[in-house]
Chain A
Amino acid sequence: MKTATRNTDTDLSRLLNRLTRGDNIDECLTCGICNSRCTWFDGPGGPIPRQIVRMAVLGLEDALVSSNMLWDCLVCNRCTQECPMGITMDLVVTRARGMAAADGQIPEDIKKGIKTRLELGDVNGLTKEEFVETVEWMSEEFSDEMEDPEALIPHDQAGCKFLYLPNPRELGINLMHLTAMAKLFYAMKETWTLSSHHTDVTNWGYFVGKDDVAKEMARMVVEPAEALGIETLVLSECGHGYHVLKCRVARLLGREPKFNVVSIPELCLSYAQKGILRFDPDVHPYEIAYHDPCNVARKSGGYDPPRQLLDMCCHGVKELVPNREDGVCCGGGGGILQDSTTTQKRMITGKPKADQMRATGLKHLATACLSCHRQLGELSTHFELGMKVDTVAALASESLVL
């Protein structure tokens, strides 16, 4: 019989037992509330959140590192949303993942992605030259499409109002999405730019719980943006990227960045409210369901802007049940989507979401995160839901009245 020895003098307990609210896992009441709320629901496998916390409290690092729970957790915080002691699971899990002892468990794809991102600024390994080439080509296409030589996708321009930080998918397999975003900026009639110094909104340092990595990735975004002298950094629809750059950046860098941070749906909404952007709801003459990305909604409080924007671009928004604070993860959170070995597992983690989607009886679903977008699309296919999945900003772009 293998027995674990209770040990409070471990890296993990030292990291976690700082006596601030939310971080101090020692305060766990063992109430079990989290167990009843894990987004895996009764799916096979997966984490038992209270066990994660208890292992951490008692310093059972080996048990925690060697269990499947650490990487099965989607870091969605659904479990601890109602924790009576204010403990947050993403902190516990990412800290645990970040221990040197857990290095062996980091999925290969994530390791590789982090390496590339740190070396090249883009998780998919897009080089600066490739970036410039791609963007300039797209810019030409864009002005042709808009029949306006002024309609451009600029890059590396100093002194613009906005800097758009895309998702790597927008410079890879989903170029159309970048064009759609360009159209929105064009309609706002503001100066904007991309930057070849940092092409990527993601921050996988957060997934692996390594503050040094997360900090470096954040720095790679913040410093060049500041050098460009922009006013506002506009984030592509990316849940964890949004959460890190909105809620964690100051803690990581030890200072606030010298610009504002908004997501593209938030920006569009404010321009619509100012009367500058106008949308035609009849472009999407249907009711649409909305999925709350955990990182945008529960973890960063961004519940309403995507819904409000969506409402302007479609015939009404239908809620998935449950939603908002209680929203169910798409099943792709916490780095699981970025690990190519998890395709099957993601159909287990995504089952509750698929059930919710089916229950709407609708044919359309939107979300405000490109990772969720991919996972939801796969769910629709796998579970034969026949639902078309879009991002909120893409729909907004389609509905634009120019």
Chain B
Amino acid sequence: MTPSFDNVLVLGGGVAGMAAARTLGDRNITVHLVEAADQLGGHAASWACMATDVCRHCGACLARDMAHQTALHPKISIHLNTTLDTLEKIGQGFDIRLTSGETIPAARIILATGFSPFAPDPSLLPGLHFTEHDKVITTTQLNQMLKDETLTDFLGTATPPEIAFIQCVGSRNRRLERDFCSQVCCKISLRHTRKLLHILPDAAITLFHLDLQTIGKETRCLAADLSLMIEMAQGIPAEILEDQDTGRLRLVTEDPGTRSRIARSFDLVVLSVGMSPSPELEKMASRLGITPNHWGFFNTKDASLADGIYAAGCAAGPKDILGSKQEGCIAAAKVLEDMGHKPEKQTDVLVWGDGAQAVTIARTLAKKGHRTICFNRNIPDTKAASGQEITFTDPGKILSVDGVAGHFTIRHETDGTKKTVTCKTIIAAPEPEFTTPAGQGTFSKAIDIDAFSRIPVDQLSDTSVILLDYTGPEYKAASRLALTSAMAAQNTGRQVTVVMHKMLVHGALGQQLYDQARKAGVKFLRVNTPGDIQIQPTKTGFSVTLDEATLPGIPITLLCSTLAIGVSPLPGPDFENTAGLLKQRLDREGFLQSANIRHRLTQSPRRGIYFAGTCHDEVDDTDLAAELNDIMAGIDFTGPVRDFGVEVNQKKCVQCLTCLRICPHNAIVLNEKSRPEIVAEACFGCHLCVANCPALAIASEQFSTDQVAALAGKGQVAVLACQRSAALAAGPLDLPGHIRLISVPCACRINQNLVLKTLLNGADKVIVTGCHEENCQSMDGTATAAAEVDRLLAIPGITPDKVSWHSVAANETRTFARILSDAKIS
């Protein structure tokens, strides 16, 4: 048999592996997805839902949804409980034998073997006495208890429970040869503490951290909320003692007030463990001919992959769920390109933004062959390289954005002339505002960090101070600039001091830079708040006096000739207008793009509209490059269009245009006859239009009110469940016969009619279940369904016992079971 080399082997069925497999499968590539465990989903699928009153955007439930979709994919064959056995390189491809005995020829291999949580082995970290105290647990164990809803029992009678989190266990530690930041554990702990407070509102929580990595969408808001609810203490205890009398756990920490050590007692200590590569990868590396770095990852230059092998997700290096998904898609696109698959069509792209990032984005796309227009008010004078189609235009005032993916029409007005631009894809990248007090008042002689980093080293003054997060929260790009420029200056004999609340290292590279900078002699001073710093201009520069956080009571004065100030991005003046025109939401901080994980990192509920750069999330150059690869993977290799079977029956339509107004995905347009029409490429099949058309003019092949209402038999309990959340949670349960699980495309399919009809048809109860708020793919499905249930409950005779609404994420099987048992269904 001549091996068909259009096969791809994906090792690892976690989020990255599934994302890669689906991207490839959608392009008609046969994918063999090999997973060592007995189910798809990886670690993400075992993670508990972090939702409180609202979704906390952890992304874990996505893994369940993805597993479900992957399993249904016709081009993906899944090999569970299987790993790689042998491998032989044949020409451009590989001949592979799996442990199941199967042999598979593959053109390319994507390595997505994920990670394993660091185990706080007592031989490595004896002081934690991890195995001795049962109330010392890892975040993984806490997660399991949250998932199983066993935490309150485990905590026992302690009221209110006092709980400590210790960050960086097994990370940022050179002694353990793990001198990288695991990136995710701070965010995990923030979500965990928030979740704990939701379950145990009177719990007293202390989060001991090294530098809390508040980064990523809405993480700063979460941290800010939490800072009022929990104690955040810099400094991570490395020893846990047990109180002989009470059995409580004791941690000795520095008490800045009394300038001595004090012992504090806790009922539970959670070790926030970092990431290690999966042991599976270690076993396979030599067979694959790949060389991970000494940490076991591929996130530094000294690691190398072999020809035809690509790494994605946590196998490449620690990252979060959405980042893993993104990397899976990018790896798949890379494979497609390398296998010679040409992008189907070169797309017309509009890049929307005035700043340098927008220019980078436009250039990157043009370079890839996309015809690109950039709406940019500060038109760069450089010409496009030959062969690139790129136009920079000052749009003047943008009046409207109409249409759907593939057919956007943007009208704008320059100098009184109205113009129209059409494009297939829009990438929104408006410029944020960068705040810096440099140049004003006391700081009239200070410069911002960007300016500082551009001073040639030979022109730098002898002493410089960098105020990193003085005027606003720390920002990753600013800390990277501070580290690299301070190090360069220090290495040429200058003295640089960085004053900071904390260092945002976030990842392996950041930790490396921080380590190198300290080693080079850059001094880092910590302050608790900007109020601890006093700045005086002097004849020759500045005098900075501060209360150093690690040296309470010893004010320290720094004299410097150059004072540089870090900049923080704030939502730009255009953001609201841009969001309005694109019909998109801002996040809690006012940046573009909702925090909803169904569309992030780069997409939006409106197909064809993407976000890139600082306008929507905290990105540095590397992250931006990844975002662009992700976007290009989407537009170069679009998948098949799904038909959701929803159509406007033009005969019944009364042209009220309700559907056009309410479609959360803007998938309904007015056709040439000025009648509403659903555009399949843009539709997500949510059925909100079906549920809300007053003329009942929108037909659904599978989910019409009558069809759905007829599904529950007499005396049965109808559980209407969103297919992306509650229905998936119910999946593993063995439901008794009188429960009728009815999977609907979105909770917003439910309306009063549907529920009432179901009851009229003889159902005993109707339980409506769907995503947590802010997790709905169609944005407001949750609120819509909940409101419908509320309205029903206002009808006499409809009691909460008859009709109820519950949020259940795809990973909340236990919650789903509890809802059924609470409903006292006989």
Contacts and interface: CB of A to CB of B under 8 A. Distances in A.
Interface of A: 1-6, 8, 17, 19, 24, 26-33, 35-38, 40-46, 48, 50-51, 54-55, 57-58, 60, 63, 81-86, 322, 324-326, 355, 359
B168 interface: yes
B175 A83 contact: yes
A2 B551 CA distance: 13
Nearest to A40: B261
B259 interface: yes
Contacts of A43: 261
Given A42-B263, A86-B175, A30 B526 contact: yes
A58 to B, nearest CB: 6
B460 interface: no
A35 B515 contact: no
B172 A29 contact: yes
Contact of B235 (A32, A325, A355): A32
- Nearest first, the 6 closest Cβ-Cβ pairs linking A and B are A32-B235, A36-B237, A42-B263, A84-B173, A33-B238, A3-B555
Given A26-B519, A31-B210, A4 B558 contact: no
B254 A37 contact: no
Nearest to B237: A36
B521 A326 contact: no
A17 B521 contact: yes
Interface string B335-356: 0000000000000000000000
Contacts of A46: 260-261
A325 B495 CA distance: 38
Contacts of B251: 36
A57 B251 CA distance: 26
A31 B168 contact: yes
Interface in B205-230: 208, 210
A86 B238 contact: no
A54 B253 CA distance: 16
A242 to B, nearest CB: 23
Contact of A54 (B168, B241, B518, B550): B550
B172 A60 contact: no
B261 A48 contact: yes
A190 B254 CA distance: 53
B448 interface: no
A86 B174 contact: yes
A6 B518 contact: no
B78 to A, nearest CB: 41
Contacts of B548: 54, 58
B523 A57 contact: yes
B550 A51 contact: yes
Contacts of A32: 208, 210, 234-237, 253-254, 550
Given A5-B559, A27-B518, A28-B518, 9 more contacts: A17-B521, A26-B519, A37-B252, A40-B261, A42-B261, A42-B262, A81-B127, A85-B174, A326-B239
Interface string B174-188: 111001000000000
B94 to A, nearest CB: 40
Contact of B260 (A8, A37, A44): A44
B422 interface: no
Given A26-B518, A37-B239, A82 B554 contact: no
A235 B262 CA distance: 39
B252 A42 contact: yes
Contacts of B174: 84-86
- Secondary structure of the A side of the interface? loop
Contacts of B175: 82-86
B350 to A, nearest CB: 46
Nearest to A325: B126
**Among A81, A85, A355: residue with most chain B CB under 10 A:** A85
**Among A84, A86, A324: residue with most chain B CB under 10 A:** A84
Contacts of A31: 168, 172, 210, 235-236
B246 interface: no
B253 A35 contact: yes
Contacts of A41: 241, 252, 261, 263
A186 B559 CA distance: 68
A32 B515 CA distance: 16
Contact of B524 (A4, A30, A82, A85): A30
26 contacts: A3-B557, A4-B554, A5-B556, A5-B557, A26-B521, A26-B523, A27-B515, A29-B210, A29-B518, A30-B234, A30-B550, A31-B172, A31-B210, A32-B253, A35-B237, A35-B253, A35-B254, A38-B252, A40-B261, A42-B252, A50-B235, A54-B548, A54-B551, A82-B127, A85-B174, A326-B126
Nearest to A82: B238
Given A26-B521, A85-B175, A36 B260 contact: no
A334 B523 CA distance: 29
Contacts of A6: 497, 523, 525, 556-558
B125 interface: yes
B286 interface: no
A85 B259 CA distance: 24
A28 B556 CA distance: 18
B244 interface: yes
Given A6-B557, A30-B526, A326-B126, A36 B551 contact: no
Interface in B110-131: 125-127, 129
A50 B550 contact: yes
Contacts of A325: 126
Contacts of A57: 523
Interface string B489-512: 000000101000000000000000
A390 B525 CA distance: 48
Given A42-B262, A326-B126, A37 B238 contact: yes
B127 A326 contact: yes
A84 B545 CA distance: 29
B176 A8 contact: no
B176 A84 contact: yes
Contacts of A63: 551, 554
Given A4-B556, A50-B235, A60-B551, A38 B261 contact: yes
Contacts of A3: 545, 554-557
A40 B175 CA distance: 24
B461 to A, nearest CB: 16
B483 to A, nearest CB: 14
Contact of A36 (B126, B253, B555, B558): B253
Interface in B692-739: none
A130 B76 CA distance: 91
Nearest to B125: A82
B519 A27 contact: yes
A76 to B, nearest CB: 14
Interface string B5-30: 00000000000000000000000000
Nearest to B520: A26
Contacts of B495: 8
Nearest to A28: B518
Nearest to A17: B521
